[in-house]
Chain A
Amino acid sequence: MTEANTIEADIREYIISNILDNQDDGNLTAESPLLEWGILNSLQILSLVDFMETKYSIKIEPTDLRPQNMATISSIAALVRTRQG
């Protein structure tokens, strides 16, 4: 698994465990629309940010928290990679 895929897998696992109460029906993919489906709300985004900052030792700024960055697991992973420099 590449590093990029690892990040996406980590985020997916976090969402399934902490937001979806381990209810994984296999439909959650890297491109699933998290905001549109109501999987993430603003409070859950903040928890996810805490997780990513701790896990990857990065700093995510409030100005990073835009719908386009939070839309999918893939876009969240892209944000992590940007902040990793």
Chain B
Amino acid sequence: MAATILAHKGHSVLIIDGAAHPKFAIGESTVPLTSQTFEHLAAQTGIPELLTLARGPQGIREKIGTTCGIKRAFCFLYHREGEENRPEENNLFGNVWRDENHLYRQDVDTYIFRAALRYGADALENTRVSSVELDDDGVTVSTVKGQRFRARYLIDGSGPRSPFIKQHELAERPTSLRTNTRTIFTHMTDVKSYDDCVDNPFSQPWSTGTNHHVFDGGWFWVIAFDNWEGATNKVASVGLTLDADRYPPRDDVSPEEEFAEFVGKYPSIARQFEDARAVRPWIRAPKIQHSSRQCVGDRYCLMAHSYGFVDPLYSIGLIMTVTAVSKLVDPLCKALETDEFAREDFLDVEKAMVRRLRYADMLIYGSYKSWSNYNLWNAWVRLWAIGLHALESIFASHLMMGKYSKYELVEDYITSEYEPQGYKALIEAGYASISAYADGTIDADACAKQLWKLIEDYDFEVRLRPEPEFDGVEWAMRTPDVHDLFLGVPENHERWRKEQVDPWIPSDTPA
């Protein structure tokens, strides 16, 4: 993406890739914030291919094809070992404003890659880098094939096994990230719609959202690409991510066997996978967290996935990537004009990456801890949802109104300059509570009580839906027995205005 933008601006760009497009990648689920950042980038650069991505499923179908799925909601489905999934322990968060995407990355990435070539970038695929030397005047990249290339600036998007990070000892060892998880994933065919496996009293079909099957110790993702009429791609992205402290890496079973073992523990999930078959080899990663000591230096920038990663939960990785590109474009183009590439001029990129990675770590660490108790999870997940919905509203206001937006940008942010003013304090207080629970200082009930109190006291400075006909969202967000938080359904708002919980919640459900 960065190469596409730089080439479009007329700069000389060389892409060196150890593999070749089309290629498998995860990071498939977008949220409105991802598309808004694409929209910001498209406006910043005037590149039509970025506008395609910003336009969501419609843009992708028109310009890329019918292999991507839609995402209308985050579906969090809570499971207890050996038991059927209970509807009253599920949570749905979504917004009707526009559909988001399940990106079939090999097609989307190829589209952006080809755009880079069309705008004049050169590319060397199936080419591995052996060393990268930095000096005062530029960067020298050598490949295992014996080629040498000279550049003025390096953007490293090669991920945690980056030869540049290794050679220059940029990895933070051990990582300061508190989350410790491992994962198993692939693409599968014949994964059933979850609507065919359980009763669904919610306002939206589970199949039109990203399925997160969460349980004490881990979670499964199911990202369908064929969840709309006209879809042509019958596979789904599936994965299992586990708390590695609780479930240490194993080499006594294959990844497929281990995946099946966990599926078998949860009857409702087992039905979804009973006919499923992998269409590509399984991948198992024994630890997925990594971080770097710095994100930018004189003449280089580590792209988000090279800089650090926590866990696929909440789809934060792709937002970080698009944000990094968005923050890098202006200072880099200026540097290419002045030929000054000092680290100090790129610190805004580093600030964004450091803060987003830390926020992801806090949120995800807390999520794994909270899955031991549904009431605790039901409170914890709202800290994320409150921030995401408000952030999208403020970002939308800035995109629409420009400098005339009434919302001021936050300088000392926890995740984004577009977050609401009080959000950092909310997350820090919530994280202190969940850490106390993790350390054994307080029990789950006490922790949940503290979190619900924080939510109750939180000042919703930004109304999550400002239109009068959509009143009641803040009440719903604060109320444990409202689980269907799809904001676009008028019936939901009518009920919330009357302070009525989801009608199908059993009356004996503990608050």
Contacts and interface: CB of A to CB of B under 8 A. Distances in A.
Contacts of B466: 43
B394 to A, nearest CB: 10
B464 interface: no
A41 B405 CA distance: 8
Contacts, number: 43
B397 interface: yes
B98 A62 contact: yes
Interface string B7-47: 00000000000000000000000000000000100110000
A67 B43 CA distance: 11
A63 B396 contact: no
B95 to A, nearest CB: 12
Interface stretch (B50-58, B336-344, B381-389, B443-451): B50-58
B400 interface: yes
B interface, size bucket: 20 to 34
A45 B405 CA distance: 12
Given A62-B97, A63-B42, A41 B401 contact: yes
B440 interface: no
A75 to B, nearest CB: 13
Contact of B402 (A35, A46, A63): A35
Interface string B396-431: 110111111110000000000000000000000000
Contact of A66 (B58, B400, B404, B467): B400
Interface string A9-42: 0000000000000000000000000011010111
Contact of B400 (A36, A38, A45, A61): A45
A77 to B, nearest CB: 18
A70 B42 CA distance: 17
Contacts of B51: 63
Nearest to A35: B404
Given A36-B404, A41-B406, A66 B55 contact: no
B491 to A, nearest CB: 20
B42 to A, nearest CB: 7
Nearest to A59: B58
Interface of B is mostly: helix
Contacts of B56: 62
A79 interface: no
Interface in B451-467: 466-467
Given A41-B406, A42-B405, A43-B466, A63 B39 contact: yes
A41 B400 CA distance: 9
Interface residues of A, number: 16
Interface in B307-338: none
Nearest to A61: B55
A24 to B, nearest CB: 22
Q: Which among B39, B54, B401 has the greatest number of chain A C-beta atoms within 10 A?
A: B401
A80 B76 CA distance: 40
B389 to A, nearest CB: 15
Contact of B43 (A36, A66, A70): A66
Contacts of B98: 62
Contact of A42 (B58, B397, B403): B397
Contacts of B400: 42, 45, 65-67, 70
Given A62-B98, A63-B51, 10 more contacts: A40-B401, A45-B400, A61-B58, A62-B39, A62-B55, A63-B42, A63-B55, A66-B400, A67-B403, A70-B400
Interface of B: 39, 42-43, 51, 54-56, 58, 97-98, 396-397, 399-406, 466-467
Which 6 A/B pairs are nearest by Cβ-Cβ distance? A67-B402, A35-B404, A42-B397, A65-B400, A42-B400, A63-B54
29 contacts: A35-B401, A35-B402, A35-B404, A36-B404, A40-B401, A41-B406, A42-B396, A42-B397, A43-B466, A43-B467, A45-B400, A45-B401, A46-B467, A61-B58, A62-B39, A62-B97, A62-B98, A63-B39, A63-B54, A63-B55, A65-B399, A66-B402, A67-B400, A67-B401, A67-B402, A67-B403, A67-B404, A70-B400, A70-B401
